[in-house]
Amino acid sequence: MAQKRCRHCREFFEVRPQSAKLQRYCSKAECQRERQRRKYQHWIAQPENAAAHREALKTWAKNFPDYWSWYRATHADYVLEDNQRRAEGQRKDRAFRKATGWRQIAVERLAAVEAMGSDDCSAKQTGSSRRIDAIVGYLRWTVEGLVFRKATGWVLMGGTEG
């Protein structure tokens, strides 16, 4: 009999004569589950099938409205992992909002520097020196903000520390 290597467990197996050309997986339960999983993933990747799948999920959810309450009540490890995942997502969201706030303040300060004209100056100060003072103030503010963010452990966009 002909032998092939299973795509999942990589062991050799005897091929069934009826499906010799098509058989890619051995008859072990684990390998058959993997075969079915891959077939389903391929099926769901097709746009026309994805819509049908979404509709089937909606119907199922409507028929079993208390399923997730029951599941969370009976699977404490899932609840713990899900809560940690949600907390991490919320932490990243807060960090993103903080970084966005800092960025907005920086843009406003730089716009104010750009908008400065020579008529904003006192008699002892030229327009250039006034702008330089504002830029130095902006840079000092930026550096102090970075030091503060490092000290407090804030995380900036992209997951890197500031």
Q: Domain check: are 38 and 93 in the same one?
A: no
Answer whether residue 103 is part of any domain. yes
Q: Domain check: are 92 and 61 in the same one?
A: no
**Alpha-carbon distance 46 to 49, whole Å?**
5
Q: Domain check: are 123 and 60 in the same one?
A: no
pLDDT: which is higher, 129 or 91 = 91
pLDDT above 80 (res 146): no
Percent above pLDDT 90 for the chain: 45
Q: Domain check: are 13 and 54 in the same one?
A: yes
Under a CB-based contact definition with an 8 Å cutoff, are residues 161 and 153 in contact? yes
| Confidence at 116, pLDDT banded by 50, 70, 90 | low
Answer whether residue 143 is part of any domain. yes
pLDDT: which is higher, 14 or 161 = 14
Question: Domain range for residue 148?
Answer: 87-159
Answer whether residue 79 is part of any domain. no
**Count of structural domains within the chain:** 2
Answer whether residue 145 is part of any domain. yes
Under a CB-based contact definition with an 8 Å cutoff, are residues 109 and 141 in contact? yes
Specify the pTM.
0.42
Answer whether residue 140 is part of any domain. yes
Answer whether residue 80 is part of any domain. no
Confidence (pLDDT) at 156: 46
pLDDT above 90 (res 139): no
Q: Which of 7-16, 62-71, 89-98, 117-126 has the lowest mean pLDDT?
A: 117-126
Answer whether residue 113 is part of any domain. yes
**Alpha-carbon distance 129 to 38, whole Å?**
68
Of 160, 156, 158, 159, give the one whose Cα is nearest residue 145.
156
Degrees (nearest 5) of the Cα angle 104, 109, 111? 95
Q: Domain check: are 54 and 92 in the same one?
A: no
How many Å from the N-terminal Cα to the C-terminal Cα in the chain?
A: 64
The whole-number average pLDDT for the span 19-24 is 89
Q: Domain check: are 9 and 54 in the same one?
A: yes
What is the 3-state secondary structure of the chain? Answer: CCEEECCCCCCEEECCHHHCCCCCCCCCHHHHHHHHHHHHHHHHCCHHHHHHHHHHHHHHHHHCCCHHHHHHHHCHHHHHHHHHHHHHHHHHHHHHHHHHHHHHHHHHHHHHHHHCCHHHCCCCCCHHHHHHHHHHHHHHHHHHHHHHHHHHCCECHHHCEC
Q: Domain check: are 93 and 148 in the same one?
A: yes
Q: Domain check: are 92 and 39 in the same one?
A: no
Q: Domain check: are 93 and 145 in the same one?
A: yes
Q: Domain check: are 114 and 153 in the same one?
A: yes
Answer whether residue 71 is part of any domain. no
Confidence (pLDDT) at 104: 76
Tokens representing 160 are 């890197």
Q: Domain check: are 93 and 61 in the same one?
A: no
Q: Domain check: are 47 and 93 in the same one?
A: no
Confidence (pLDDT) at 160: 45
